[in-house]
Structure 1
């Protein structure tokens, strides 16, 4: 079944991505005029946390109730990438994230997403590795710190860059060896 709960949660995450970008990057719009920036940070963080929770639950539900679909294998990582893209672009616009760190992360994300789509089309398993899961958590924590403008956010961002690039290397290595 294509429209199962995990896929609906992934689609919901797709819809939250532009909302997150709007809250971070379009703070001069008439819709947001008069709202203090700290409240916009809170709202953006809330949207990001809610979207991240859907990421956890769509995977958990899909595995627990055997609702894994080909669409889900494609839409879930796409929704993840759109969410991180929205967060990172918004943070660059705000001047809170180093553009080179974001470039490295997003380049890896789009390349590996394409590789995963190719693997799915070939009938190969594209399950996330443990390093991929650590990468996701590192990015989420960095995004949270940067969204809230807390100290240490850029250090966490560069840690996320290192983990992100290493996990990308693992995907490429495994794909080349026929293990993905």
Structure 2
């Protein structure tokens, strides 16, 4: 197994670590800003999430640079991204920090695009991630981290950066989903 695939698999294994620290609420230290308390375990979850999310670009870069792109990597990389983001968003809904409708839109788009990619793959075609899809991922990650960190440092000036980023992420998620289907409508054959 090459280095890029090992990094991708490590990202998958970091998902339960993020969930453990995010949902267990260890009280080894805590701080409160504008009425919301953040625990040390939530900060650790955010840091692990950042590390895991940062490996997304790294594994692809290494695979291309070393010319070790594999079918396994093409399968695991988007799966790892979807697991990390979906798990974090679902946990944040459980914690009542993100609205469920936002998460439903984001996860629905991921299922729909994965379905489209599966149809294309069955015909031997690979649908590469577009620039807007990459922007979508960045916005989702920034929004998730901002919420995990209790909107730090924007909470001191009472600017709802975390919520704003989640709205931006939802809008860009919708746009990127539409973009995928419009650009790849040839991959869908409606035989009636």
Q: What is aligned with 1:166?
A: 175
Query: In the alignment, is the contact (CA less than 8 A) between 2:132 and 2:172 conserved in 1?
Result: yes
Q: What is aligned with 1:78?
A: 79
Query: In the alignment, is the contact (CA less than 8 A) between 1:78 and 1:113 conserved in 2?
Result: no
Q: What is aligned with 2:23?
A: 25
The separation in 1 between residues aligned to 2:161 and 2:69, in whole angstroms, is 37
What is the CA deviation profile of residues 75-114 of structure 1, one whole-angstrom value per residue up to 9, with x for unaligned ones?
1000000000111011111111111101100111122123
The separation in 1 between residues aligned to 2:75 and 2:2, in whole angstroms, is 14
Query: In the alignment, is the contact (CA less than 8 A) between 1:45 and 1:147 conserved in 2?
Result: yes
The separation in 2 between residues aligned to 1:78 and 1:118, in whole angstroms, is 16
Give runs of aligned pairs for residues 31-180 of structure 1, distance below 5 A: 32=26, 34=28, 36=30, 37-150=38-151, 151-178=160-187
What is the CA deviation profile of residues 110-155 of structure 1, one whole-angstrom value per residue up to 9, with x for unaligned ones?
2212322332332212211010111011101101111111032111
Higher Cα radius of gyration: 2
Question: Which is worse superposed, 83-92 or 17-26?
Answer: 17-26
For the residue of structure 2 that corresponds to 1:177, the secondary structure is helix
Query: In the alignment, is the contact (CA less than 8 A) between 1:96 and 1:149 conserved in 2?
Result: no
Runs of 4+ that moved beyond 3 A:
32-37
The separation in 2 between residues aligned to 1:141 and 1:120, in whole angstroms, is 30
For the residue of structure 1 that corresponds to 2:39, the secondary structure is helix
The separation in 1 between residues aligned to 2:19 and 2:39, in whole angstroms, is 16
The separation in 1 between residues aligned to 2:138 and 2:120, in whole angstroms, is 24
Shift of 1:33: 5.6
Q: What is aligned with 2:33?
A: none
What is the CA deviation profile of residues 40-88 of structure 1, one whole-angstrom value per residue up to 9, with x for unaligned ones?
1210111111101211100111111111111111110000000001110
